[in-house]
Amino acid sequence: MKHLHRPKYSLATDGLFEYRSLEKKKLKICMAITATAMILEIWGGFFTNSLALLSDAGHMFTHFFALFISFGAIVCAGLKSCHHRTFGFYRAEILAALFNSIFLFAVTVWIIIEGIKRLIQPASVMGPQMFIIALIGLVVNLLSVFVLRGAGEHDLNIKGVFLHMLADTFSSIAIVIGALIIYFTGWTIVDPILSIGIALLIVIWALSLLRDSVNILLEAAPKGINSDDVSRVLKGEINEIEEITDIHLWTITSKMHSMTAHIKLKAGFQDGDKGELLNRIKQIVNKRFDIEHTTIEFER
């Protein structure tokens, strides 16, 4: 049975198989580190009565889920398609991302509501304990950033996770600073202000996740690519092309783009050269637009 072409990095024959295996190990380590820190911050938030710690734990959950999705993407890439799931299970990560984005909005609404309540009626916060736990969270985030460094060089999905972990590190730094301010000044109002700020960061990431997942599910063109650009490049580099019609671009899952098109050839083109022409088209769209799965129908 002919299966959907898999991404370059999942093939053992391209020399990157061991590298992807190493990425899976890195993701497992980061998931364990992040989950531990998240549980610690949840406990610490209730223990110290710190809403900022609880909101940072929610923020950390978004990164844990991002790590989980990235790991799942690698696993799903190895599953074969069948007669009724011709694209395999690549879209499972997109559905999970959509669910995650909706869940994140609910979390941020709760954080913002509680933050506003505490702005109106400030509550006491255990500054020293909050500082210690936030400092541990910062160390954990720095460890995750260290583990993932360079892992996204060949995969934008992993690179995105790395950037989220880096953002979470800055969030932890804000919590540490807030704990110091509370300890030395007693300004407990800093805690809800920080929590609302962190919630807004989560909203920004959730909106991006929601937009990207919905676009993929609606078969939108890959981000940064449109059919006019593809047609212009092909017609500009291949003289044999007269016209390109019925062109469709879509994303199967992260970094796996597909294209179908009808291409009208100029008069005088020899049918025996279609194989070589098809290879040229595939090489161009792969190199210029990172489109790996291409189906072309030639017309006179």
Query: In the prediction, which pLDDT does 126 show?
Result: 65
Query: In the prediction, which pLDDT does 280 show?
Result: 92
Answer yes or no: do 159 and 255 share one domain.
no
- Residue 144: inside a domain: yes
Final residue belonging to a domain, choices 217, 239, 273:
217
Query: In the prediction, which pLDDT does 85 show?
Result: 75
Domain tally, the chain: 2
Answer yes or no: do 51 and 190 share one domain.
yes
Token pair belonging to 203: 């909203």
Answer yes or no: do 18 and 155 share one domain.
yes
- Residue 1: inside a domain: no
- Residue 222: inside a domain: no
Answer yes or no: do 22 and 107 share one domain.
yes
- Residue 195: inside a domain: yes
Cα–Cα dist 5/19, whole Å: 19
Answer yes or no: do 205 and 281 share one domain.
no
pTM: 0.68
Of 288, 206, 281, 289, whose CA–CA distance to 250 is shortest? 289
Query: In the prediction, which pLDDT does 155 show?
Result: 58
**Domain interval for residue 262:** 227-299
3 state DSSP class of 293: strand
Answer yes or no: do 41 and 92 share one domain.
yes
- Residue 237: inside a domain: yes
Whichever domain contains 240, its CATH number is 3.30.70.1350
Answer yes or no: do 177 and 201 share one domain.
yes
Query: In the prediction, which pLDDT does 2 show?
Result: 40
| pLDDT tens, residue order, the chain (300 aa) | 344 444 444 333 343 344 357 778 888 898 998 888 888 878 888 887 877 678 777 777 877 887 887 788 777 766 777 777 777 777 777 777 787 778 778 778 887 888 888 788 876 666 676 677 778 778 887 888 888 877 656 555 676 677 667 767 777 777 788 788 878 887 878 878 887 887 888 788 778 878 888 898 898 888 889 899 999 999 999 988 999 999 999 988 777 899 999 999 888 776 667 888 999 999 999 999 989 889 999 887
Answer yes or no: do 118 and 243 share one domain.
no
Query: In the prediction, which pLDDT does 119 show?
Result: 83
- Residue 2: inside a domain: no
Residue 50 DSSP one-character state: -
- Residue 58: inside a domain: yes
Gyration radius of the chain's alpha carbons: 24
